[in-house]
Chain A
Amino acid sequence: MGIISKSRKKSPWIMHYDCTSCNGCDIETLACLTPMYDAERLGIINVGNPKHADILLVTGSVNKRNEIVLKNIYNQMPDPKCVVAIGACACTGGIFKECYNVLGGVENVIPVDVFVPGCCARPEAIIDGIVQAIGKLDEKAEAMKKVAK
């Protein structure tokens, strides 16, 4: 593939959404962006705006209140896009799975591409999850082209 495919791998802009996380995974996610791990050298920027983002990082379990917010953010992101579920709560619902208002993992609401396990997930694991998501962006772009045809 050409220059666009190569560029896609080198500039993944992430967006972080916190679905009622306990702040453990959030802090580890933001730790990836600090000068210590320096995710910017991989081209990763935290953009806070779904219209600019390529990868959505979700932490925490989804409940009935923030389900609509999560769907809204996901739908506003332009294709190709990936979703990374970070932490036990985002993967399965974690210890909150049995709660009456919790829907379980993020995959019950939007399609998830990469699961990063852990409570809380380590920054190395999170960066690894983002890198795996970068690899999936190309497949998504191919699928996008087929739909266009």
Chain B
Amino acid sequence: MSINNILTAVIAIIAAPILGGLLFGIDRKITARMQNRFGPPVLQPFYDFFKLIGKQGIAVNQTQMVYVLGHLFFAIGALVMLVLKQDLLMLMFILAFSGVSLIMGAMSVRSPYSKIGAQREIMQMMAYEPVLLLMVVGVYKVTGSFMISDIFNHDKPLLYSLPLLFLAFIYVLTIKLRKSPFDFSTSHHGHQELIKGVTTEFSGTQLALLELTDWIDLVLLLGLISLFFAKPLWVGILIALVCYFFEIVIDNISARVTWQWMVKITWVAGIGAALVNIVWMYLIP
């Protein structure tokens, strides 16, 4: 690992939360404008974060912090792998570990809200993990390698050969960002049927770290979208931002669905689209 790589990783670790927090702030502002409100300042997520750091720490049990830190560090690990253009398959596994840490944290307490939230989170993982893995398979079929650096070396953008996989990935993005209609593991508003789902029993610094992880996750997922148009990278980033705006619109116009509906539709439409794309590439080389 050269000095250059270490420098890139450090810059990414510092820049990603700032960028993610700003994107969340813009999300809240746009959402407010769509509901004909003025909305909070763009820096509101940072205010929330620093306020939570200053609060008293109440831990329900001693292992909770370990899971929160696991959730954070696995997300950072996945981010570092993305910016260093490492193995895409390994990145997906590390991302799954990050999700599992959160579920373990939510399961480690005795609150029924937290447990139900964790169970719904498991359903979400069950829905999106196959699509993420099929995306890696599709990328391998196109570039002949799992490495992200080979996507950049590939002469044609991935989007031309993987359009259906791209749609499936955007669909999965809604589940991964926990936006409505798939926000049932952490209900968006705290006074709904699940209070706050998996984050119910976390408070103070722990909740702040969970928010930080959310910001990093957002940047990571938008980065994965931009890989689909990697040749001029700025086009990819533009596509990712348009997708994010699309997610905000979907978030505002839809109500929550049941987990059965989510798993059914994700498996039929998401995996279906991904498989059709991969089979089509085998038939028409």
Contact = CB atoms under 8 A, between A and B. Distances in A.
B46 A78 contact: no
A6 B41 CA distance: 14
A43 B47 contact: yes
A47 B190 contact: yes
A138 to B, nearest CB: 10
A35 B36 CA distance: 7
Q: How large is the interface on B (under 10, 10 to 19, 20 to 34, 35 or more residues)?
A: 35 or more
A78 B58 contact: yes
Contact of A38 (B37, B41, B199, B204): B37
B196 interface: yes
A35 B35 contact: yes
A43 B202 CA distance: 20
Contact of A43 (B37, B40, B207): B40
A76 B39 CA distance: 29
Nearest to B113: A49
Nearest to B206: A51
Given A7-B47, A46-B190, A49-B190, A41 B54 contact: no
A5 B189 CA distance: 25
B58 to A, nearest CB: 5
B234 interface: no
Nearest to B54: A4
B51 interface: yes
A136 interface: no
Given A40-B37, A47-B196, A49-B200, A4 B53 contact: yes
Nearest to B36: A35
A73 interface: no
B54 A78 contact: no
B280 interface: no
A4 B57 CA distance: 15
A40 B44 CA distance: 10
B203 A41 contact: no
Contacts of B48: 7, 11, 43
Interface string A96-116: 000000000000000000000
B246 interface: no
Interface string A32-54: 00010010111101111101101
A119 interface: no
A7 B44 CA distance: 9
Interface string A70-98: 00000010111000000000000000000
B217 interface: no
Given A46-B191, A47-B190, A51-B201, A7 B40 contact: no
Contacts of B35: 35
Contact of A47 (B40, B49, B191): B191
A41 B191 contact: no
Given A47-B191, A52-B207, A78-B56, A41 B38 contact: yes
Contact of A8 (B36, B41, B54): B54
A45 B57 contact: no
Given A41-B40, A46-B189, A48-B192, 6 more contacts: A4-B50, A42-B40, A48-B196, A51-B203, A76-B58, A80-B56
A-B residue pairs, 3 tightest by C-beta: A48-B191, A7-B50, A47-B190
Interface of A: 3-8, 10-11, 35, 38, 40-43, 45-49, 51-52, 54, 76, 78-80, 141, 144
28 contacts: A4-B51, A4-B53, A4-B54, A6-B47, A6-B50, A7-B48, A7-B49, A10-B41, A11-B48, A35-B35, A38-B38, A40-B32, A41-B32, A41-B39, A41-B40, A43-B41, A45-B190, A46-B191, A48-B189, A49-B195, A51-B200, A51-B201, A51-B202, A54-B51, A78-B58, A79-B55, A79-B56, A141-B54
